[in-house]
């Protein structure tokens, strides 16, 4: 069926061009106007959606054409944008930057083209004047179906804006929707290749309000709304939460058996794809958050555990000193509770995590070995994972897609799955999958193979029926 969803994408020529700051400012400005707004992030990023969530008061989602095919992506847009007046999509990296750095596949451009979303290109004007026109012209002409319908000028002096706007519109025939001046008081600090998490910025609410005021002053918000309303309808399936190749009748019995999954959620463990958690819920699970930093015991009556990524290395002393919870988690895993751990969660389940000074902090101990720091980003980017043998999630030979991004490594990375970089020769074995435990550095996207989530929930149901784990 066809669904009309007003939407636009904010993209840029490169990372670090101010996409997140401007996107958050626009979201806040639209919210302040009383417009029911939802947001998405192109690509596998966890942190940018956290900032969107702080603005909207509801979860932002990711859209990624490496993880999901075009139809599933459209379905996710339709499902999550239902009932909203406007959807704003933040691009990833440079507009045309896609798989392996040599393709436009899974790029912002690819997503805009396949979802028929109009694009506003955010141009960094610091240290430039007429040269900005050459930059914009290149992006408009590299692909005839660029979908770029307008530009925003970032880090531009207000006095120069009228002249530059006139030049761009006269020579390139593309609309300029406004400018954003350089302001140190509303910048969002960087860590590694991403931002600090939203919870770490104490004055974030003040920053967002200042950004919204700036957008009202110097950006044509009415023009952006008009552009968003010009977006063509999206074709989506009736059962929007289920990919087309996933048989719905196989899920019926699962939805009848409710299970409780304990999910580690705090400043140390905060990297989750909301669609992954939604999929668990749709399969009949109740998500039960707990904090490895603050809680002394696990929630009661759990049938599964999930430890996502984050920054456990920043909280080693506090995590290590929570001895009662560490002991309880280890006992629960020993008792057979299905457990999935990714990246930071994988580190947490080790016997030890080593800090950059060489000091080791004791952790859960369900995984033998030490997680230790390296001097560089060890593995970065998309991967396709193929099971080397049968495991909790799947049979040998089945695949799921994900990505890696970590500065820590391990003396025990596992070999249950084989990882392959797209469009590259680099490959390696990784992940531990022993009985009820699946853990490793890769972040998984369940919609790339929903049967992984299906099988995990089935294992939780079996565990529930054979003997509940009850926190002491």
**Which residues are designated catalytic?**
343
Tell me which residue of 407, 406, 412, 292 sits closest to 352, measured CA to CA.
Answer: 412
- Alpha carbons 172 and 184: distance in angstroms, whole number: 31
Token representation of residue 118: 């109009």
Name the pairing type of β-strands 339-342 and 360-362.
unpaired
What are phi and psi for residue 61, nearest 5 degrees?
Answer: -120, 165
Secondary element (H or E) of residue 206: helix 204-218
- Alpha carbons 328 and 456: distance in angstroms, whole number: 21
Q: How many CB atoms lie within 10 A of CB 128?
A: 16
Q: Which residue has the tokens 């912002």?
A: 108
Q: How many CB atoms lie within 10 A of CB 205?
A: 12
First-last CA distance in the chain: 51
Give me the sign of the Cα torsion angle 314, 420, 74, 146.
positive
323 Cβ neighbours under 8 A, 6+ residues apart: none
Burial of 35 (0-12, 13-18, 19+ CB in 10 A): middle
Q: Which residue has the tokens 């805009």?
A: 112
- Alpha carbons 267 and 277: distance in angstroms, whole number: 18
Name the pairing type of β-strands 7-11 and 86-90.
parallel
């Amino acid at each position: 069926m066809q669904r009309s969803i007003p939407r636009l994408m904010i993209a840029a020529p490169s990372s670090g061009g101010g996409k997140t700051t401007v996107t958050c400012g626009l979201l806040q400005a639209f919210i302040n106007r009383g417009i029911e707004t939802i947001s998405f992030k192109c690509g596998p990023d966890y942190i940018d959606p956290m900032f969107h969530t702080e603005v909207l008061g509801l979860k932002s989602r990711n859209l990624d054409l490496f993880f999901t095919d075009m139809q599933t992506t459209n379905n996710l847009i339709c499902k999550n944008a239902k009932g909203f007046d406007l959807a704003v999509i933040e691009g990833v990296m440079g507009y045309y930057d896609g798989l392996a750095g040599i393709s436009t596949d899974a790029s912002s451009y690819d997503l805009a083209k396949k979802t028929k979303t109009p694009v506003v290109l955010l141009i960094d004007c610091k240290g430039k004047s007429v040269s900005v026109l050459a930059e914009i012209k290149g992006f408009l002409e590299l692909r005839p179906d660029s979908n770029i319908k307008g530009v925003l000028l970032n880090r531009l002096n207000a006095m120069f804006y009228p002249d530059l706007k006139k030049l761009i519109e006269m020579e390139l025939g593309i609309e300029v929707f406004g400018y954003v001046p350089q302001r140190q008081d509303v910048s969002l600090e960087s860590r590694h290749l991403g931002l600090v998490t939203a919870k770490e910025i104490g004055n974030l609410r003040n920053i967002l309000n200042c950004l919204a005021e700036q957008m009202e002053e110097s950006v044509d918000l009415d023009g952006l709304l008009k552009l968003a309303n010009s977006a063509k309808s999206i074709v989506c399936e009736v059962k929007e939460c289920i990919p087309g190749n996933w048989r719905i009748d196989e899920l019926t019995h699962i939805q009848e058996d409710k299970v409780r999954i304990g999910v580690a959620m705090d400043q140390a463990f905060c990297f989750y794809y909301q669609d992954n958690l939604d999929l668990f819920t749709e399969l009949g699970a109740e998500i039960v958050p707990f904090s490895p930093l603050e809680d002394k015991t696990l929630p009661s009556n759990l049938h599964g555990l999930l430890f996502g990524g984050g920054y456990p290395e920043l909280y080693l002393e506090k995590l290590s000193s929570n001895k009662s919870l560490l002991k309880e988690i280890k006992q629960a895993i020993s008792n057979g509770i299905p457990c999935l751990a990714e990246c930071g969660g994988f580190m947490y389940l080790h016997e030890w995590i080593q800090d950059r000074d060489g000091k080791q902090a004791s952790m859960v101990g369900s995984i033998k070995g030490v997680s230790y720091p390296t001097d560089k980003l060890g593995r970065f980017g998309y991967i396709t994972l193929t099971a080397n043998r049968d495991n909790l999630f799947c049979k040998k030979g089945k695949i799921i897609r994900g990505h890696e991004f970590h500065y820590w490594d391990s003396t025990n990375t596992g070999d249950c799955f084989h990882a392959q970089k797209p469009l590259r020769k680099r490959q390696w074995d990784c992940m531990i999958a022993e009985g009820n435990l699946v853990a490793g550095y890769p972040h998984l996207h369940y919609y790339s193979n929903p049967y992984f989530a299906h099988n995990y929930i089935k294992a939780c149901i079996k565990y529930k029926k054979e003997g509940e784990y009850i926190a002491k």
